Amino acid sequence: MNNARLARYHALWIACSSAVLQCAAAPAPYVADAPLQPADLRKLVVAQDGSGDHTTIQTAVDAAGPGDTILVKDGSYAERVVFRTDGTAAQPIALARYPGHRPKIRPGTGSGRRVEFNAEWIILDGFDIAGGYDGCKVYKDHVTIRNCHIHDNHGQGILLVSVNDVLIENNVIERNGLTNKSPMHIHGVYLSDFFERGMRRITIRANIFRGHGGGGIHHWNKGKKKEAGARECLIENNLFENNVWELILWSGFNGNVIRNNTLVHVARPETNIDEDYAIGFNGSSGNVVRNNVIYFRPSRGTSRPFDTRSKHDQIFENNLWSVPPNSPWRWQRKLMNDFAGEYRATTGYDANGLLADPKFVNVAAKDYHLAADSPAIGRADPAHAPEGDLAGRLRDSRPDLGAYEYAP
């Protein structure tokens, strides 16, 4: 949501791939082949006062072709927005805020009213999207959604349907689905392989997810076809805060990387299910979960820090868990009684991890940066840490656990 932060983040990626700057961190695995920068061959301006080329976003989108950038001035645009024309890899179509402006899209809650991607090589950048049936729904590959505040929609924050190469970065995604009759089925980002074609290279980085009646991120597919499900996906440098499930990765979420995220689970919205947890796997395998900070305080007797109903072939390394004694959890469908006392011996995970308080700056004030005496400082595996952090700072040669690198 912070443009300067995103610029720093992209600069780090470029610099760390250069021989001039020797970064300790390894290049990111599985990065989406999605557009990063607009081509700006032609600029179309949308202004409700008539001072631009169009007064509605949709007319500008319909008029745009490959290489065009649509710049939207301030205003509340009560319209459904649908992309139907493809850009290209070299000439994506970009819909972005006019510099210095913060336009709002208010699609309305009727069925299908949202920002919808029925075209490839599209960039959406810098909008406040609320009050829709969903925030965004993506049906096509090679899409970037960044710098948006996606909140208080009736349905999903962002719904991806059997797509590949989607980049979701630097957004704040919060409180979607709380007005829905079944909030437990509404998520910040929902990876749905509904058509069972498989989903590859979905990159979700440097976002904030909070306050959903379902998951911060959820994956699901029908589980009937071998090729179905999500693979080669990357979830990094995100903050998950007080969703019913921070990560709920079910039904064919296989062979993906989850690294350097901060998960804070101390409360939850009211929803139509009693149980909640920080991380859950079911019917998923071969994932690498590394360098994360999980701060868990149960909000009720059915709260669990970890709930797995999958076979024992995930890789958990170098994670910090902060969990009170005698916290129930689930291992391979079996309910257990004391996560802190049982986790390592039962699972074999996190031999080099920590069971400790991460010492955030101020949990009550929701400041999850690391304090100077945090045990998370310098504990990440430098071979498997991102170059930058959630705030756009460069990680040093001894990177820290979680989404935030310590800054004195």
Three-class DSSP category at 38: coil
Amino acid found at 170: N
Do 170 and 5 form a contact (C-beta atoms < 8 A)? yes
Residues 6+ apart with CB under 8 A from 226: none
* pLDDT on residue 29: 76
Q: Rounded to an integer, what distance in angstroms lies between the CA atom of residue 103 and that of residue 128?
A: 6
The 8-class DSSP code of residue 395 comes to P
Q: Rounded to an integer, what distance in angstroms lies between the CA atom of residue 13 and that of residue 202?
A: 17
Q: φ, ψ for residue 394 (rounded to 5)?
A: -70, 135
Three-class DSSP category at 68: strand
* pLDDT on residue 20: 28
The 8-class DSSP code of residue 54 comes to B
Q: Rounded to an integer, what distance in angstroms lies between the CA atom of residue 138 and that of residue 145?
A: 10
The angle subtended at Cα 407 by Cα 404 and Cα 408, nearest 5°, is 150
| Alpha carbon 307 to chain centroid, angstroms | 20
The 8-class DSSP code of residue 382 comes to G
Three-class DSSP category at 75: coil
Six-digit token pair at 275?
């149980």
Q: Rounded to an integer, what distance in angstroms lies between the CA atom of residue 372 and that of residue 361?
A: 9
Residue-range domain boundaries for the chain: 3-34+142-384
- Counting beta carbons within 10 angstroms of the beta carbon of residue 301, is it exposed (0 to 12), middle (13 to 18) or buried (19 or more)? exposed
Q: Which of these, 111, 196, 107, 102, lies nearest to 149 by C-alpha position? A: 102
Q: Which of these, 290, 291, 333, 327, lies nearest to 312 by C-alpha position? A: 333
Six-digit token pair at 153?
């929609």
Six-digit token pair at 185?
């089925």
Do 124 and 146 form a contact (C-beta atoms < 8 A)? yes
Q: Which of these, 125, 127, 121, lies nearest to 163 by C-alpha position? A: 121
* pLDDT on residue 3: 56
Six-digit token pair at 161?
């349907």
- Counting beta carbons within 10 angstroms of the beta carbon of residue 286, is it exposed (0 to 12), middle (13 to 18) or buried (19 or more)? middle
Q: Rounded to an integer, what distance in angstroms lies between the CA atom of residue 377 and that of residue 111?
A: 47
Six-digit token pair at 297?
């305080």
Six-digit token pair at 200?
């590859």
Six-digit token pair at 53?
């080329």
Amino acid found at 183: P
Six-digit token pair at 106?
């208010």
* pLDDT on residue 313: 87
pLDDT by 10s per residue, the chain, length 408: 455 555 555 554 434 433 323 334 455 678 999 999 999 999 999 999 999 999 999 999 999 999 999 999 999 999 999 999 999 999 999 999 999 999 999 999 999 999 999 999 999 999 999 999 999 999 999 999 999 999 999 999 999 999 999 999 999 999 999 999 999 999 999 999 999 999 999 999 999 999 999 999 999 998 778 889 999 999 999 999 999 999 999 999 999 999 999 999 999 998 999 999 999 999 999 999 999 999 999 988 899 999 998 877 899 999 999 999 999 999 999 999 999 999 999 999 999 999 999 999 999 999 999 999 999 999 999 999 999 999 999 999 999 999 999 999
Six-digit token pair at 48?
């409700």
Six-digit token pair at 222?
């029908």
